[in-house]
Amino acid sequence: MTEPSTTTAAETLGVPLEARPKHIAVIMDGNGRWAQRQGLPRIEGHRRGVASVRCVTEECARLDIEQLTLYCLSSENWKRPQHELEFLMHLLEQYMIEERSTIMEQNIRVSVIGRPNDIPAAVQREMQKTIEMSAPNSGMRLCLAINYGSRSELVDAIREIAAAVKAGQLNQADIDELTIGQHLYTAGMPDPDLLIRTAGEMRVSNFLLWQISYAEIWVTDQCWPEFRESDLHQAIRDYAGRDRRFGGLTG
Catalytic residue list: 29, 77
Mark residue 110 as left, alpha or beta (left: phi above 0; alpha: psi -120 to 50; beta: remaining). beta
Structural contact between residues 146 and 69, judged by C-beta atoms closer than 8 angstroms: no
Which residues make Cβ contacts (< 8 Å) with residue 92, sequence separation at least 6? Answer: 72, 73, 119, 123, 127, 146
The dihedral through the CA atoms of 145, 146, 151, 157 has a sign that is negative
Query: Distance between CA atoms of 77 and 168, rounded to whole angstroms?
Result: 38
DSSP state of 3: P
Query: Distance between CA atoms of 154 and 164, rounded to whole angstroms?
Result: 15
Angle (CA) 196-33-126 rounded to 5° is 65
Nearest-10 Cα torsion for 58, 62, 66, 70:
-20
* Concatenated DSSP letters of 117-148: GGS-HHHHHHHHHHHHHHTT--S-EEEEEEEE
Query: Distance between CA atoms of 141 and 57, rounded to whole angstroms?
Result: 10
